[in-house]
Amino acid sequence: MAKELMDGETRISVEIVPMDTMGQGIEGNGRPRETDASHRRSEPLTLYRASLEAQPDIGIRLEERLGRPYAQRRLSVEQEHEGQIFGGGINFFHIENWFSIHAWTKIALKASGLYWRGVRNAGQIQVKRNRLRQTSIPEAFRGFTILQLSDLHCDTCPLAMQRLTQILRELKYDLCVLTGDYRGQTYGPYDATLAVLARIRAELSGSVYGVLGNHDTVRMVPAMEEMGIRMLLNESVAIERSAARIHLAGIDDAHFYAVDDIEKAASVIPNNAFSILLSHTPEVYERAARAGFHVMLSGHTHGGQICLPGGIPIELNALLPRRMGAGPWKYGSMLGYTSVGAGTSAVHVRFNCAPEVTLHYLDPT
């Protein structure tokens, strides 16, 4: 059931749907439950095909939502690229799909006695605050607050997702954006992802917008929009407040599937109007700045996830300056923020890089 209402002076829409509950993430011995990625990797691809066959209308629904050419192209690219370690996207090498190195990393951490500390660290989500100062922000949007959630990897990070639902109940904001990577694996069934994501959506107030990441399938889009998450796939929307407007755009994944179109997303935004781009990966920062965006919000890097003391990342899995790998940054006149994410990927531990959710405050200085 859809409702339109006013939250203060901001026009928002809320989609109300029944939500599933989220499973427990703690074992009987008090340790966080592990998710065996290597086991899932060994499952036959037929399990994925069976999941799709259970939804025979998904192609039709995507064509209605995205148009036939784009829907068919996106599905075709997914089928060609799923699970690849080499080839495709901005990076030729995709470490998140190299399951052997994940297994050896886990073994090494267990042998050193650090593994369970890293697992506990992965559940200790922090609330970060970032002020976006831009003269082009309309005065009516002073103090407007955007909550950013990124890299949830819902189905493989139960401890972090439980903590996230608790944190969300305590936060106040005007709008929420999700910057991709909802699924734990880069291919395979996604029912568990959607079930956990529905529980998270139930804790969010107001309008929620999202983009897809390199772990996500476009087949998730209809279900996500039914639960009240408006997906921006090379699209933009206008947010109104007291007759003033800002523009929020989002692009499809640029890192792996390379189906982004920044120019299309920016095409209907008036010149000089304040605009924010959602991109799962920050690697497109140069193109975003050239397209005239004032702010870009991203994720993908996990801030390195396993870092040296001082938060120095060992690997960002992204082609960009290291200063853009986590937190606030600036490129030309465009402001950027790269969230380290709330979940984890590959090996479900964190060191010297706490997970986060972020509140961005608009400041028309």
Q: What is the 3-state secondary structure (H, E, C) of 35-88?
A: CCHHHHHHCCCHHHHHHHHCCCCHHHHHHHHHCHHHHHHHHHHHHHHCCCCECC
| 10-residue stretch averages of pLDDT, the chain, 365 residues long | 41 33 36 39 39 67 92 85 60 56 68 84 95 97 98 93 95 97 90 95 96 94 96 97 96 90 96 96 96 97 92 87 96 97 91 97 95
Contact yes or no for 234/264 (Cβ under 8 A): yes
Q: What is the pLDDT of residue 45?
A: 39
Q: What is the pLDDT of residue 28?
A: 38
Query: Would you report the helix, strand and coil content of the chain in percent, each value rounded to 5?
Result: 35, 25, 45
pTM: predicted TM-score of the whole model, two decimal places: 0.81
Q: Are strands 230-231 and 208-211 parallel, antiparallel or unpaired?
A: parallel
Contact yes or no for 304/166 (Cβ under 8 A): no
SS3 116: helix
The CA distance from 5 to 316, in Å, is 41
Q: What is the pLDDT of residue 104?
A: 64
Q: What is the pLDDT of residue 149?
A: 98
Q: Are strands 235-241 and 230-231 parallel, antiparallel or unpaired?
A: unpaired
SS3 338: strand
The CA distance from 121 to 59, in Å, is 40
Q: What is the pLDDT of residue 96?
A: 63
Nearest to 98 by CA among 38, 40, 145, 148: 38
The CA distance from 98 to 100, in Å, is 6
The CA distance from 78 to 252, in Å, is 12
Q: What is the pLDDT of residue 113?
A: 77
